[in-house]
Amino acid sequence: MSDEGLDGLFGGHSVLAILRGMPVDTTVALAERAWDLGVTAIEVPARDESGLEALRATVRAGAERGHPVGAGTVISTEQVHAVARAGAAFTVAPGFDTEVMAASETAGLPHLPGVATPSDVQGVLKAGGHWVKAFPATVLGTEWFRAMRGPFPDVRIVATGGMDAHNAREYLGAGARMVAVGSALADPDQIPLLAELV
């Protein structure tokens, strides 16, 4: 299910917006800015009640435009159930946990697990996934992405961690399918560059 679900949500897109740790109104405002730019892949980290509140509000705003919203930093099965109740369309994790991935899939939510090694990638493949989140991307570096294309040519990688409009093209060129940006959406100087990426 991860393949079909995430292909449908992410296919054809090069930017995933991560709206982390902001007040509800700011989160929704930045989501609307992203949608206006054509960035329809939105993740709201939901590790605590304030994150869940922001997720619920963004889900409601997205529903008005027909855009699904995912939940980030999902690291337990309890969180999976909480974000499912909040209306999340998919889940994202900083690492790979088979129980979290299975719980998410069972709840009908495609899951994007974090990876940093070839063993991580193989584990995701064995669990039935083909989308992974390379984290932290700038620590791994562009050569990591180029190296992963050899043994894993069909894996779709989302570069996450330290990404902005200035280095996104470099990582997309190295083999990332998407880049995940956060604070760049609040930077007026980066907005036109992000629009070009989309």
Residues assigned a catalytic role? 43, 133
Q: What residues contact residue 191 under an 8 Å CB cut-off, 6+ apart?
A: 33, 37, 185
Give 111's strand partners. 91
Contact 158, 178 (CB under 8 A): yes
Who contacts 106 (Cβ-Cβ below 8 Å, separation ≥6)?
none
- Copy the structure tokens of residue 93: 């994790």
Starting at the edge strand found earlier in the chain, the sheet holding 15-18 runs: 111-112, 91-92, 69-72, 41-45, 15-18, 178-181, 156-160, 131-134, 114-115
Which residue's entry shows tokens 């570096």? 141
Residue 63: phi and psi, rounded to 5, are -60, -35
